[in-house]
C-alpha cells in the first residue's frame, strides 16, 4: 500500500521449518495412514503452493482414536495432578524452544503475518500450557467441589483462523483436568496440530493421551457423534455449532460452543482518537479480520464521525499488505479461496444495498488469496454487512448520539461475543459495559487475551467459557462431599 516510507523487505527465513512431503494421522502415539487411504493437500494461502499431503480421517479412524484415548484415560486420570503438570510444563517449554519454527509454519499454512504468529499466537500458546500446568494439582480449589473428577475423553474440533492457539485453549485445560483428547484441526490448516503431535512425543506424553485427526467436516461429525466421547468442544461457525447442539442433545455429553460474532467497537466523543484508531485497526484488521471477536461494527458518536474517519483512512493508507513472511507486513492473505469468495460476496451485497465502500490504494499480489482492507460508511442496522459475520478485513461504520442509542445498536445482533468501549470516563465504561450483552468487553483496547481470563459469548455466539479458572469447569465434574458424581 502507499506509504511515506519505503521499507526494505525483511523476510523471515523459511528454512527454519522442515515440512515433510506427507503426514499421517496421530493415533495412540504414532503416525498412521487413514484406514481408507484417503489424503488431501494443504495449501499456502499467500502463494497457492502445496505445502504437504495429509492423511484424511474417516469414521473408522475416529473410532480407533477414541478407543486409544479411552485406554489412556485410565492411567492418565489416575496420575497425581503434580505429575500431569510436569508434562504440561514440558510441552510449554518445548513450544517456547520451537516458537520460531512454529510461527513460520503457522504463517505458511494460515496466511497471517509472521509478526502476528511470532508476537501474539506463539507466546499465548505457551502461556496457556504454563497456566493450566499450574492448575493441575490445585483442581480442588477451582470452585467445583472438594474433589472434582475428569469427564473422560474430549472430542475437540478447532477452526483455521488460530490453529495452534485454539488447540492450546482446548488441550491444555483438558489435560490438566485429567481428560484425554481426540482433536480435529481444520482441513485448511492441519500442519501446526501435527507438529504439536511431535511435541507431545518429544515431551514423553503417554500414548493415546492426545490424538490428532486431520480431516473434513465428516470426520468432525463422526467425532461429535461417537458414543465414546464424554465432552465436545467446538470453535467455529454458528451454523455448525447449532448442528452440534442438535447432535449431542440427550446424549449426556458436556458441550462448549464458541461460535460467531459481530463485535461492536463503541467510540464516544471524549475518546483519545489516536489511541482509538489504533484499537479499531487492531480490532478488525488483525488476522485479516478472520477473528470471531473482531470489532467489525464501529459505532462512533455522531459529533466526531468526520474527524475519526479522516484519521482512520490516513492510518489505513499506511498499512502494508503482502508476503506474510515479511516482518513489515500488516495484512496477510485470506485463508482460503472459499473464504475469499464469501468475503467478496458480502462486500458486493453491501454496495448493492447502498452502503459506501472505501479502501486505500492497494496492489494485490498476483497469486494467493487477498482482499484489501475495506470500510463501509452510510451503514444502517438493516444492512446485511451490519448483521452478518463477514470474517474478513471489512469494517461497517454506524453512528449514535447518546449512550442509550449506542447500547441499543450494539446489542441489536444475534451474536454476543465481544465489544469495545472508548472513552476517558471510567464511570461511563462501567455503566455501558454492564448493559452490553457480550461475553468480553474491552475498555480502551481491543483483541487483548490472557490465559487467566475467561472467553465466551451469549446468544448465537455460543455458550461455555474457555480460559481462566472457568475453562476448567468444562472438563471437570463436581463431586459431593461423599465423593459421588
The residue among 248, 198, 178, 250 whose CA lies nearest residue 94 is 198
Q: Give the Cα separation of 92 and 29 in Å (integer).
A: 19
**Longest C-alpha distance within the chain, in Å?**
70
Q: Give the Cα separation of 20 and 53 in Å (integer).
A: 9
The residue among 208, 218, 169 whose CA lies nearest residue 58 is 218
- Across residues 229-248, what is the average pLDDT? 96
Residue-wise pLDDT for 50-63, tens only, equals 999 999 999 999 99
Residue-wise pLDDT for 226-236, tens only, equals 999 999 999 99
**Is the per-residue pLDDT at 435 higher than 90?**
yes
The answer to whether residues 253 and 232 touch, using CB atoms and an 8 Å cutoff, is yes
- Across residues 324-342, what is the average pLDDT? 98
Q: Give the Cα separation of 206 and 76 in Å (integer).
A: 8
**What pLDDT does 7 receive?**
79
Per-residue exposure over 40-61, b if at least 16 CB sit within 10 Å of its own CB, e if not: bebbbbbbeeebbebbbbbbeb
**Is the per-residue pLDDT at 484 higher than 60?**
no
For the chain, give the mean pLDDT.
Answer: 96
The answer to whether residues 146 and 478 touch, using CB atoms and an 8 Å cutoff, is no
Residue-wise pLDDT for 110-143, tens only, equals 999 999 999 999 999 999 999 999 999 999 999 9
Active site residues: 258, 292
**Is the per-residue pLDDT at 481 higher than 70?**
no
- Across residues 473-480, what is the average pLDDT? 87
**What pLDDT does 205 receive?**
98
**What pLDDT does 479 receive?**
74
Residue-wise pLDDT for 414-427, tens only, equals 999 999 999 999 99
Residue-wise pLDDT for 437-467, tens only, equals 999 999 999 999 999 999 999 999 999 999 9
How far apart, in Å, do the first and last CA atoms of the chain sit? 59
Angle between helices 191-202 and 81-97 (to 10 degrees): 120
Q: If pLDDT is split at 50, 70 and 90, which confidence band does 3 have?
A: low
**What pLDDT does 82 receive?**
98
- Across residues 216-220, what is the average pLDDT? 98
In 65-112, beta strands by DSSP E: none
The residue among 276, 353, 287, 285 whose CA lies nearest residue 309 is 276
The answer to whether residues 142 and 476 touch, using CB atoms and an 8 Å cutoff, is yes
Amino acid at each position: 500500500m502507499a506509504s511515506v516510507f519505503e521499507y526494505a523487505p525483511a523476510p523471515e527465513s523459511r528454512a527454519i521449518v522442515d515440512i515433510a512431503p506427507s503426514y499421517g494421522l496421530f493415533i495412540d502415539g504414532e503416525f498412521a495412514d487413514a484406514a481408507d487411504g484417503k489424503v488431501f493437500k494443504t495449501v499456502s494461502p499467500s502463494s497457492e503452493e502445496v505445502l504437504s499431503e495429509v492423511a484424511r480421517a474417516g469414521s473408522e479412524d475416529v473410532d480407533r482414536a477414541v478407543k486409544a484415548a479411552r485406554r489412556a484415560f485410565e492411567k492418565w486420570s489416575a496420575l497425581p495432578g503434580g505429575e500431569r503438570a510436569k508434562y504440561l510444563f514440558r510441552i510449554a517449554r518445548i513450544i517456547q524452544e520451537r516458537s520460531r519454527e512454529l510461527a513460520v509454519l503457522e504463517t505458511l499454512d494460515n496466511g497471517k503475518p509472521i509478526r502476528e504468529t511470532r508476537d501474539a499466537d506463539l507466546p499465548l500458546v505457551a502461556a496457556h500450557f504454563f497456566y493450566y500446568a499450574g492448575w493441575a494439582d490445585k483442581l480442588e480449589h477451582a470452585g467445583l467441589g472438594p474433589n472434582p473428577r475428569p469427564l473422560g475423553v474430549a472430542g475437540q474440533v478447532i477452526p483455521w483462523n488460530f490453529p495452534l492457539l485454539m488447540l492450546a485453549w482446548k488441550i491444555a485445560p483438558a489435560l490438566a483436568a485429567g481428560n484425554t483428547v481426540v482433536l480435529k484441526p481444520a482441513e485448511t490448516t492441519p500442519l501446526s496440530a501435527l507438529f504439536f503431535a511431535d511435541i507431545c512425543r518429544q515431551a514423553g506424553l503417554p500414548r493415546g493421551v492426545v490424538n490428532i485427526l486431520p480431516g473434513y467436516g465428516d470426520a468432525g461429525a463422526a467425532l461429535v457423534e461417537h458414543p465414546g466421547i464424554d465432552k465436545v468442544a467446538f470453535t467455529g461457525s454458528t451454523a455448525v455449532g447449532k448442528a452440534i447442539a442438535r447432535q449431542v442433545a440427550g446424549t449426556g455429553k458436556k458441550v462448549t460452543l464458541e461460535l460467531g460474532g459481530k463485535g461492536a467497537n463503541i467510540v464516544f466523543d471524549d475518546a483519545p482518537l489516536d489511541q482509538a484508531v489504533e484499537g479499531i485497526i487492531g480490532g478488525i484488521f488483525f488476522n485479516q479480520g478472520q477473528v470471531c471477536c473482531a470489532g467489525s461494527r464501529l459505532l462512533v458518536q455522531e459529533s466526531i464521525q468526520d474527524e475519526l474517519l479522516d484519521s482512520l483512512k490516513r492510518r489505513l493508507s499506511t498499512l502494508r499488505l503482502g508476503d506474510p513472511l515479511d516482518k513489515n507486513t500488516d495484512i496477510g492473505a485470506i485463508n482460503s479461496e472459499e473464504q475469499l469468495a464469501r468475503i467478496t460476496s458480502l462486500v458486493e451485497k453491501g454496495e448493492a444495498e447502498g452502503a459506501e465502500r472505501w479502501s486505500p490504494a492497494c496492489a494485490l499480489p498476483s497469486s494467493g488469496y487477498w482482499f484489501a482492507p475495506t470500510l463501509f460508511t452510510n451503514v444502517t442496522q438493516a444492512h446485511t454487512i451490519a448483521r452478518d459475520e463477514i470474517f474478513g478485513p471489512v469494517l461497517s461504520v454506524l453512528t449514535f448520539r447518546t449512550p442509550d442509542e449506542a447500547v441499543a445498536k450494539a446489542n441489536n445482533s444475534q451474536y454476543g461475543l465481544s465489544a469495545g468501549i472508548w472513552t476517558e470516563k471510567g464511570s461511563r465504561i462501567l455503566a455501558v459495559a454492564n448493559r452490553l450483552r457480550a461475553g468480553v468487553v474491552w475498555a480502551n483496547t481491543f483483541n487483548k487475551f490472557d490465559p487467566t481470563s475467561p472467553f465466551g459469548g451469549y446468544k448465537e455466539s455460543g455458550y461455555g467459557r474457555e480460559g481462566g479458572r472457568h475453562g476448567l469447569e468444562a472438563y471437570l465434574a463436581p463431586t459431593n462431599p461423599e465423593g459421588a458424581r
